[in-house]
Amino acid sequence: MLVHIPHVLTPEEVAHARRVLEEAAWVDGKVTAGEQAAKAKFNLQIPEDSPAAREVGSLVLRALGRNPLFNSVALPLRVLPPMFNRYDVGMKFDAHVDGAVRAIPGAGMRMRADVSTTLFLTPPEDYDGGELVIEDTYGKQVVKLPAGDMVVYPASSLHSVTEVTRGSRWSSFFWTQSMVKNDGERTLLYDLDMAIIKTRQQLPDDNRAVVALTSVYHNLLRRWAEM
């Protein structure tokens, strides 16, 4: 399941994030890549433990907390602190699959990476290239979104970032461990949740159909959720 979530950050939040990141030190993105991914990765990143990463990461996490669509899509149990990357002219990230297990900084524990997320911080008209290309059972999708929008997709997907030929593409990226690790089951729950929302807009909450659909949703979540 691939879902575009618009307006995760306000224009003011995007501008603030950009100001903080512009003043930060960037390092070679290979420092956080595994042996195989490092051969395909050509970009820059903000160090995970830097003040800039913590400040803007907190801003992103607050935005996720107020976004019901993200919670419906990802059903988050744990969210890895957001990271930040940059692709200047000539930079790209060839096709790869994200690592299945990630260490949570400072927590002394690991989490399973079920869901990948890219939050765009640069307007698409400011750069050429830099498209996120995601390949999965739903086919190949080419993603290039407005600043403040994000895309959520299975971490098991083969994906890449095409070479930037003009400008610079900045984004936040992070992983989520979902309460429901199977993407097919998450998709069913998401579709059902969207149907319930639309039904509630047309019928009162005490309508038997609304109650029945809501009951099915929660009983499926109870069956599939891992805590």
Task: For 93-111, give the secondary structure using H, E and C.
Answer: EEEECCCCEEEECCCCEEE
pLDDT at 179: 98
pLDDT at 39: 78
**209: CB partners within 8 A, 6+ apart:** 199, 203
Per-residue model confidence (pLDDT) at position 206: 87
Q: Give per-10-residue mean pLDDT for the chain (227 aa).
A: 97 98 94 70 94 97 97 97 97 94 90 98 98 90 98 96 98 98 97 95 90 97 96
What pLDDT is recorded for position 36?
66
CATH 2.60.120.620 placement within the chain: 3-178
pLDDT at 31: 76
**164 C-beta neighbours (distance < 10 Å), count:** 22
C-alpha 220/C-alpha 7 separation (Å) is 29
How many CA atoms, within 13 angstroms, populate the side-chain half-sphere of residue 141?
17
The pLDDT assigned to 75 comes to: 98
Find where tokens 């051969």 sit.
39
144 Cβ contact partners less than 8 Å away, ≥ 6 residues apart? 120, 124, 130, 131, 132
State the pairing for strand pair 92-96/158-161. antiparallel
User: Is residue 50 left, alpha or beta, with left meaning phi > 0 and alpha meaning psi from -120 to 50?
Assistant: beta
Task: Look at residue 43 in the predicted model and tell me its pLDDT.
Answer: 96
Task: Supply the CATH classification number for the domain 3-178.
Answer: 2.60.120.620
Residue labelled with tokens 């997907």: 157
CATH topology of domain 183-224: DNA Excision Repair, Uvrb; Chain A (4.10.860)
Region(s) of the chain under CATH 4.10.860:
183-224
Pinpoint the alpha helices (H) of 66-145: 68-74
Instruction: Report the predicted TM-score, pTM, of the whole model to 2 decimal places.
Output: 0.94
pLDDT at 35: 64
